[in-house]
Amino acid sequence: MPEGDTVYRAATNLDKVLRGQTLTATDFRVPAFATVDLTGEVVDGVIPRGKHLLHHIGDLTLHTHLKMEGSWHVYRHGTKWRRPAYQARVVLETADWVAVGFDLGLVELVARDADDSVVSYLGPDLLGPDWDAAAALANLEADPAREVGLALLDQRVLAGVGNVYRNELCFLRGVLPTRPVGDVENRVKLIDLAHRLILANRDRVDRTTTGNLRGVTDWVYGRAGKPCLRCGTKILRGTLGESELELRDTYWCPHCQS
């Protein structure tokens, strides 16, 4: 499941092979940009912003979002793709490489000088060079009655937290996702933990919040019916609170979280 760390690694890999390279062929397999051809343009870089990717290409910015199923792959010419061709939404070719965006939830081209407009609504980027913990905290506390599980998923609060981190952060801080933000003790530590967790996983292929890379990597996420690693109580799964929470699986320990 793509989260901020996944997008960061994707941007790093893409930037490594595309930066400074001239595009020899492009294929945008979405109706709005099907006739666009950026052949001959130079890629100036690929930048992650929360869970968004910004390819700077000539005077344009290619803005993509992985959503739930998307991914970017990089191949040598002639190498078989690991996903079926019908799932490809964007293909960028250089003399040496083929970058393919599969099942992208969002694809758009905007003017380079206006690229900030597509991500300006985002809160502080957990993996950005301009990470601002104070601003993230202020965003979190702006609505003290809101359920903390909803607030953590809101990219306007802080950018980069997805459902895995949302569940794990709530467990590690001992709070139910339905607890109002104003009732969460030491919200500073919650923000700090979010930053430390995603930073620790930034360069890992396999994400872990338990510190274990060979055994159980998550405290509660995906562990419904299994014993809590701390107390042995069965992990629960379901919908908590308002309907927005029902859009994502929620996991919690009824003993360790309250």
pLDDT in tens, 157-214: 999 999 999 999 999 999 999 999 999 999 999 999 999 999 999 999 899 999 998 8
Q: Rounded CA gap, 149 and 169, in Å?
A: 9
State the pLDDT at residue 245. 43
Give the range of the structural domain holding residue 99, as residue numbers without chain letter.
4-118
> What digits encode the pLDDT tens for the residues 202-214?
999 899 999 998 8
Query: Could you tell me the CATH number of the domain that includes residue 202?
Result: 1.10.8.50
| Whether the Cβ atoms of residue 89 and residue 29 lie closer than 8 Å to each other | yes
Q: Are residues 108 and 155 in the same domain?
A: no
Pairing of strands 88-93, 25-28: antiparallel
State the pLDDT at residue 247. 61
Q: Are residues 197 and 106 in the same domain?
A: no
> What digits encode the pLDDT tens for the residues 74-112?
999 999 999 999 999 999 999 999 999 999 999 999 999
Indicate if 41 belongs to the active site: no
Q: Are residues 75 and 11 in the same domain?
A: yes
Q: Are residues 187 and 104 in the same domain?
A: no
Q: Are residues 233 and 160 in the same domain?
A: yes
- What 3-state DSSP class applies to 126? coil
Q: Are residues 10 and 112 in the same domain?
A: yes
Q: What percent of the chain has pLDDT over 90?
A: 91
Q: Are residues 213 and 153 in the same domain?
A: yes
Given the residues 9, 49, 51, 179, the one annotated as active site: 51
Q: Are residues 83 and 152 in the same domain?
A: no
Indicate if 179 belongs to the active site: no
C-alpha dihedral sign at 157, 178, 224, 171 = positive
Given the residues 2, 48, 124, 177, the one annotated as active site: 2
Q: Are residues 90 and 140 in the same domain?
A: no
Nearest to 188 by CA among 149, 153, 136: 136
Kindly state the tokens that stand for 132.
Answer: 């601002």
The model's pTM is 0.91
The answer to the question of residue 17 being in a domain is yes
Number of domains comprising the chain: 2
Final residue of a structural domain among 118, 148, 171: 118
Indicate if 3 belongs to the active site: yes
| Whether the Cβ atoms of residue 42 and residue 20 lie closer than 8 Å to each other | yes
Indicate if 112 belongs to the active site: no
Query: Could you tell me the CATH number of the domain that includes residue 70?
Result: 3.20.190.10
Q: Are residues 187 and 77 in the same domain?
A: no
